[in-house]
A and B are shown apart, each in its own frame.
Chain A
Amino acid sequence: MTILITNVRPYGEDPVDVLVADGVIAAIGADLSSTAQTLDGAGLIALPGLVDLHTHLREPGREDTETVLTGSRAAALGGFTAVHAMANTDPVADTAGVVEQVWRLGQQAGLVDVVPVGAVTVGLGGTQLAELGAMADSAATVRVFSDDGKCVSDPALMRRALEYVKALDGVVAQHAEEPRLTVGAQMHEGDRSARLGLTGWPAVAEEAIIARDVLLAEHVGARLHVCHVSTAGSVELIRWAKSRGVQVTAEVTPHHLLLTDAQAEGYDATFKVNPPLRTAEDVAALRAGLADGTIDAVATDHAPHAGEDKECEWAAARPGMLGLEQALSVVVGTMVDTGLLTWREVADRMSVRPAEIGRLTHQGRPIAVGEPANLVLLDPTARAVVDPAALASKSRNSPYAGRELPGRVVHTLLRGELSVRDGKVQK
Chain B
Amino acid sequence: MKRHLLEAADLDRADATLVLDTAAQIESALAGREVKKLPTLRGRTVVNLFFEDSTRTRISFELAAKRLSADVINFSAKGSSVSKGESLKDTALTLEAMGADGIVVRHGSSGAPHRLATWVAGSVVNAGDGTHEHPTQALLDAYTIRQRLGRLEGVQVVITGDVLHSRVARSNVWLLHTLGAEVTLVAPPTLLPVGVGSWPVTVSYDLDAVLPGADVVMMLRVQAERMNASFFPSAREYSRRYGLDADRMARLGEDAIVMHPGPMNRGMVIAADVADSPRSTIVEQVGNGVSVRMAVLYLLLGGPA
A: residues with CB less than 8 A from B are 186, 189-200, 202, 266-269, 308-309, 311-317
Contact = CB atoms under 8 A, between A and B. Distances in A.
Given A198-B131, A314-B109, 4 more contacts: A190-B194, A195-B199, A196-B132, A316-B109
B194 A202 contact: yes
Contact of A313 (B109, B131, B133): B109
B194 A194 contact: yes
Contacts of B130: 197-198, 315
- Greatest chain A CB density within 10 A among B86, B107, B129 is at B86
B109 A194 contact: no
Nearest to A307: B89
Contacts of B129: 197
Contacts of A189: 194-195
11 contacts: A189-B195, A190-B194, A194-B199, A195-B170, A195-B195, A197-B129, A308-B86, A311-B115, A312-B89, A315-B130, A316-B84
B177 to A, nearest CB: 12
B124 to A, nearest CB: 13
B263 to A, nearest CB: 19
A200 B114 CA distance: 19
A312 B170 contact: no
B58 interface: no
Interface string B166-188: 01001000000000000000000
B170 to A, nearest CB: 6
Contacts of A269: 115
Chain B interface size range: 20 to 34
8 smallest CB-CB distances across A and B, nearest first, come from A316-B85, A267-B111, A194-B195, A197-B132, A194-B193, A313-B109, A197-B131, A197-B110
B103 to A, nearest CB: 14
A200 B193 contact: yes
B194 A200 contact: yes
B195 A312 contact: no
B9 interface: yes
Contacts of B207: none
Contacts, number: 87
Interface string B75-96: 0000000001110110000000
Contacts of B84: 316
B55 interface: no
Contact of B110 (A190, A198, A268, A312): A198
B246 interface: no
Given A193-B195, A194-B193, A196-B110, A312 B132 contact: no
Contacts of B110: 186, 196-198, 267, 313-315
Given A197-B130, A312-B85, A312-B86, A191 B111 contact: no
Contacts of A200: 193-195
B196 interface: yes
A271 to B, nearest CB: 11
Contact of A191 (B88, B108, B114, B198): B198
B88 A313 contact: yes
B193 A193 contact: yes
A186 to B, nearest CB: 8
Given A311-B89, A316-B109, A267 B114 contact: yes
A157 to B, nearest CB: 25
Interface in B104-128: 107-112, 114-115
A316 B131 CA distance: 15
Most A C-beta atoms less than 10 A away, residue of B129, B132, B196: B132
B133 A197 contact: yes
A195 B9 contact: yes
A191 B170 CA distance: 13
Contacts of A196: 110-111, 132
A312 B110 CA distance: 11
A316 B198 CA distance: 27
A189 B193 CA distance: 9
B5 to A, nearest CB: 16
Contacts of A314: 109-111, 115
A313 B195 contact: no
Nearest to B108: A315
A96 to B, nearest CB: 36
A266 B118 CA distance: 10
Contacts of B86: 308-309, 312, 316
Given A197-B110, A267-B110, A191 B89 contact: no
Contacts of B193: 193-194, 200
A195 B132 CA distance: 7
Given A316-B86, A316-B109, A194 B196 contact: yes
Contacts of B114: 266-267
